[in-house]
Amino acid sequence: MVREEVKASTRGNAAGHKRSSATPTKGGRHAVISKNRFFAILCFFLFPLSFLEAIGGKKQGRAPYYVDLKIHCSAILPSPPYKTSPNPGENLPSSGKRQGISRCFQGSVYSAWHKKMSILPKGDSIQIREVWNSNLEEEFALIREIVDDYPYIAMDTEFPGIVLRPVGNFKNSSDYHYQTLKANVDLLKLIQLGLTFSDDQGNLPTCGTDKYCIWQFNFREFNVSEDVFANDSIELLRQCGIDFKKNNEEGIDANRFGELLMSSGIVLNDGVYWVTFHSGYDFGYLLKLLTCQNLPDTQPGFFNLIKMYFPIVYDIKHLMKFCNNLHGGLNKLAELLDVERIGICHQAGSDSLLTSCTFRKLKESFFNGQTERYSGVLYGLGVENGQNTH
């Protein structure tokens, strides 16, 4: 998912008075200055809060440029320091900067430097359940128990980027996008999957604990020493805390995951609602796990599988097309809707939770709770419910 870096510039406001051509009143130039000072002092005492906000730039929800800037607005922060780097963000790949990584780090790497900017008011009540090969069956048992009561499933994946671009003639741009998706999903391997379950009111399951639960599945197949990957993508995931060595040693076997997913009750179920953001690749990797085959050659074939395994799908990026003044990636949209993050972005569990919360806020704010007519479309692929729209 592409994140947009927001650049902020602080321009000083020069407020100068043109010299009047008329003859000065009694006292001359000094009298004019004294009156201006008197007026400023009067404003300060009569309207102290407005005066302070004005000089700080705090107006209509914007943070003051210098007063507690780090606390008020993560969108215009430089990237937080990594390790002991004296220059924030100096070790980031350029793609990380382009994708707005300065807005993404909200976990341990942020805790000291960015302590006052909490992500959600009750962030400590969320448990990201890390799933490895050793506890895979146990976690799927929990999922089977909750899916009927929490049928909205927000999903996000992390994968090794995009390394192939097809050549040749294509019927249209969406055909080109699909062939790009197919080529990369067929070649590459899934690294991480995040799932967040909720009910129709947005409540999350607790799974018998005192915390709300979301899931993060870590896969073993991708090997950074042997497999093809996009350098920027892998470096970004490293910066976000993904331990590729641990994944190789303790991660989930993809074939076993596919078997358990098939019997979990969350696929092949028209009572489940999948919530995603720009999710062609996400569903591509899930279909690869479920079918143990390469993706279909055509978009209609791809969407036939989507409709079978995931009957009801909402892509937030598609929904944004019907909302005025909404644009950008998931982080940008969450900021616009005042939805804050728990965890570290570019980790699938945190991204799936942000997707879930953003969908609910978008649904209530722009669609009056009714989004059924917009289901079945994946942004950028140009196929609706298996039928070519071109």
Domain ranges of the chain: 33-67, 126-388
Say if CB 258 and CB 289 are below 8 A apart.
Answer: yes
Of 195, 372, 374, the closest CA to residue 286 belongs to: 195
Q: What is the pLDDT of residue 369?
A: 84
Q: Which of 34-43, 214-223, 305-314 has the lowest mean pLDDT?
A: 34-43
Question: What residues does 131 pair with on adjacent strands?
Answer: 217
pLDDT at residue 344, rounded to an integer: 85
User: For the chain, what percent of residues have pLDDT higher than 90?
Assistant: 60
Over 80: is that where the pLDDT of 34 sits?
A: no
Mean pLDDT of 330-344: 91
The one-letter amino acid code at 175 reads D
Higher pLDDT, 13 or 315: 315
What CATH homologous superfamily does 126-388 map to? Answer: Ribonuclease H-like superfamily/Ribonuclease H (3.30.420.10)
Report the chain's mean pLDDT, rounded to a whole number.
76
Least confident span in 42-46, 99-103, 355-359: 99-103
In the structure, what pLDDT confidence band is assigned to residue 223 with cuts at 50, 70 and 90? very high
Which pLDDT value is given to residue 105? 38
Q: What is the CA radius of gyration of the chain?
A: 25
Given this model, what pLDDT does residue 157 score?
97
**Residue 20 scores a pLDDT above 80:** no
* pLDDT, tens digit, 9 for 90 and up, residues 160-196: 999 999 999 998 999 999 999 999 999 999 999 999 9
Average pLDDT estimate for 58-73: 29
User: What is the per-residue pLDDT for 325?
Assistant: 84
Give the Cα separation of 26 and 340 in Å (integer): 58
Is the pTM above the cut of 0.75? no
- Per DSSP bridges, beta strands 212-218 and 152-158 are unpaired
Distance between start and end Cα atoms, the chain:
25
Tell me which of 127 and 114 has the higher pLDDT. Answer: 127
